[in-house]
Amino acid sequence: MELAIIIAVVVVALVFDYTNGFHDAANAIATSVSTGALTPRVALGMAAVMNFVGAFLGQKIAHTVSDTIDPGSGSHGLVIVMAGLIGAITWNLITWYYGLPSSSSHALIGGLVGAALAAGATANWAVVVEKVVIPMLLSPLVAFSLGFGAMVAIMWIFRNANPSRANRGFKIAQTISAGAMALGHGLQDAQKTMGVIFLALLTGGYVVESDGLPLWVILAAATAISLGTWSGGWRIMRTLGRRIIHLDPPRGFAAESVAASVLYTTAYVFEAPISTTHTITSAVMGVGATKRLSAVRWGVAKSILTAWVLTFPAAGLAAALTYWFAALFLP
């Protein structure tokens, strides 16, 4: 019975990973597509490949995710993990439908914590606060500030450059920055699914906490997020690439470079599963504000902020409801 539940949890985790891919595909490529640096299909193909490669670049975030809750052991613990995943998938689909770039990362953590609280299990609040909540609050501010600063530096360095020639150069540079952004997305987000699968295996007694991630877990998560990315996230791409502000190639390059840098730093230095969505969106707003504050469509930004604030509790509530429903059938 437990083996069947573990298999079901792994399948649902990979479904989440797939939804993460198509939900967050826009994160890596929206700016490059909106500036004309890359065509949509070329951009999606590159992002899918870089997502796959990025999944193999570390395991620290996966272990952080697996440490967020202690669901116990046996079938009951596995149902808690399953409910957390379903809560995250539900919120991902809702925000995708409305074209809002919310955080799959925080939906996942919120779902796990919501399911654990509903079941009376232990949430590791020290990990949640230090590795999730604090980075969730700080990373958008850092990305906005760095985006603004990077764009000011670019404007000063290239102040005497021919605009047409500079735009062509930055379009080429965006190929590199978009690739770096997609690699960072794979590094961050594929590991979150690996962490949940590892948590399920730990709950079922198939691994111990000191074990590394099995290779099949890494391959499965990398493949699922890449396939999801290839399927595309056109609704969110329109919001991120055009509705916040109309980007030009220099601003697109600055936003992608800053966002990628923040993703790598938090993954390797702080081991924090931050949101690629929060990071790139804040960077876009930061570079856009260098035109003038009114150039950023703050009404759209307000809608995005609302989705950010609601993500953690909404995914947690969906997961709690899922657990309470499942509990009706538990022995």
Q: Model confidence over 41-89: pLDDT tens digits?
A: 787 788 889 889 989 988 888 888 988 988 887 888 999 999 999 999 9
Q: Please name which of 140, 143, 150, 88 lies closest in space to residue 304, comparing C-alpha atoms.
A: 140
Give per-residue pLDDT as tens, 122-165: 888 988 889 888 888 888 889 999 999 999 999 999 988 898 89
Token pair listed for 43: 């951009």
Residue 225 has pLDDT above 80, yes or no: yes
pTM summary value: 0.85
> In a 10 Å sphere around its CB, with 0-12 CB exposed, 13-18 middle and 19+ buried, how is residue 2 labelled?
middle
How long is the chain? 331
List the chain domain ranges: 2-322
Give per-residue pLDDT as tens, 100-114: 667 888 899 999 999
pLDDT of residue 316: 95
